[in-house]
Amino acid sequence: MTETLDIKITKTSHSRLAQTDFNNLPFGKIFTDHMLLADYADGEWKNFEIVPYGEIGLSPAISALHYGQAFFEGIKAYKHSDGTVSIFRPDKNAIRFNKSAERLCMPALPEDIFVQSIAALVDLDRDWIPSAPNHSLYIRPAMFATDPFLGVNPSATYKYMVLTCPVGPYFSKTLRVKIEEKYTRAAEGGFGYAKAAGNYGGAMLPGKKAVEEGFDQLIWTDGKEHQYIEEMGAANVMFVLDGKLITPSLDLQTILDGVTRDTVIALANDWGFPVEQRRISVAEIIAGAKSGALTDAFGAGTAATIAPVGSISYHGEEYFLSDPKTREFSQKVLHTLDGIRYGRSEDPHGWNYIV
């Protein structure tokens, strides 16, 4: 059953579009003219409205700030050369949104309401979507607890909001990464599979240390032994080893069920390229890097897209991989994905949600 969403729209009288420099779009700093807000209270979602982007008033006691009942999503919309606007697989994000909500003891938002609310905002601010190569509109839905109450209990009230930012490429270079062996992002039984705000707060110190050591990113390993690969920064990690696409499985619930990860696996399946979702040891990746059996390695995420790994460091040794431009698999993925997202090629899986 599809519920139709009633959204009150208040348009800005001072559009910032004309003064925005689309040749200089630092990630996540430039917001479009509008944002969407809604409230959860008395057991239901209400007050869906689109208003001019700006500050919102909140109690300093909200439990999102004190206890981390907060999570988010990341989605992109693309402008095709004929002006068509598409959002990439928002239905997948709607499902994950509710998985995060459930784990954090927060209310679900019906999937069709999630998608419709995003489409309404993207439609209103469609002139903000850049059409240059590798540019898009980054969409940031989020939900957080708003009870002004310092007890450690699930809140009874919540806010849902959607912000949008025109963006260019996230990483502009090949990444130098290290295998993290001290810090842990997620543990079995924890909430690594949720896009929970707290997962990112806890990742900042290890990330900063890695940058101080000269790396661009770190590869997270399992919390028990630090011997199995999990993710790369805030993206999934994928390899081509011995002619097979391999990526950590979702079974232990310590990693995010990424939409980009799922998309790359689907493309590999389309091409008859062998895929394994399983435990991957650091030892086999390092052995593959040494022998040359590791022919591709990349991060996969909505913000990062397909981010090639140039070298992997482990126990003080740096292992260099081939030049990303010569990597058959990830180049084909990039080319195919771009073709679909920008409407240049067929979309056989129906991944584009046309606005």
Ligand X SMILES: *Cc1c(COP(=O)(O)O)cnc(C)c1O
- Give me the residues that bind ligand X (CB under 6 A), please: 74, 195, 231, 234-236, 256, 258-261, 300-302
- Closest approach, Cβ 92 to ligand X, in A, equals 7
Q: Which is nearer to ligand X, 40 or 97 (CB)?
A: 97
Task: Compute the distance between CA of residue 215 and CA of residue 175 in angstroms, rounded to an integer.
Answer: 8
Three-state DSSP at 47 gives: strand
CA distances from 345 to 124, 239, 255, 332, 336 (A): 26, 26, 31, 13, 8
- Closest approach, Cβ 185 to ligand X, in A, equals 7
- Closest approach, Cβ 36 to ligand X, in A, equals 20
- Closest approach, Cβ 230 to ligand X, in A, equals 9
CB-based contacts of 143: which residues, under 8 Å, 6+ apart? Answer: 70, 71, 72, 97, 101, 106, 109, 158, 159, 160, 161
DSSP symbols for 109-154: --HHHHHHHHHHHHHHTGGG---STT-EEEEEEEEEE--B--SSS-
Task: Compute the distance between CA of residue 51 and CA of residue 46 in angstroms, rounded to an integer.
Answer: 15
Q: Which residue has the tokens 């679909």?
A: 340
Q: Which is nearer to ligand X, 238 or 294 (CB)?
A: 238
Q: Which is nearer to ligand X, 161 or 197 (CB)?
A: 197
Kind of pairing between the strands at 175-179 and 305-314: parallel
Q: Which is nearer to ligand X, 72 or 319 (CB)?
A: 72
Task: Compute the distance between CA of residue 192 and CA of residue 186 in angstroms, rounded to an integer.
Answer: 5
Do the beta carbons of residue 167 and residue 137 sit within 8 Å?
yes
Name the helix (H) or strand (E) containing 230. Answer: strand 229-232
- Closest approach, Cβ 212 to ligand X, in A, equals 21
- Closest approach, Cβ 247 to ligand X, in A, equals 11
Q: Which is nearer to ligand X, 36 or 300 (CB)?
A: 300
Three-state DSSP at 344 gives: coil
- Closest approach, Cβ 72 to ligand X, in A, equals 9
Q: Which is nearer to ligand X, 260 or 330 (CB)?
A: 260
- Closest approach, Cβ 214 to ligand X, in A, equals 23
Q: Which is nearer to ligand X, 50 or 143 (CB)?
A: 143
Closest CA to 27 of 165, 206, 192, 202: 165
Q: Which is nearer to ligand X, 40 or 171 (CB)?
A: 171
CA distances from 295 to 117, 265, 327 (A): 41, 17, 7
Name the helix (H) or strand (E) containing 90. Answer: helix 90-103
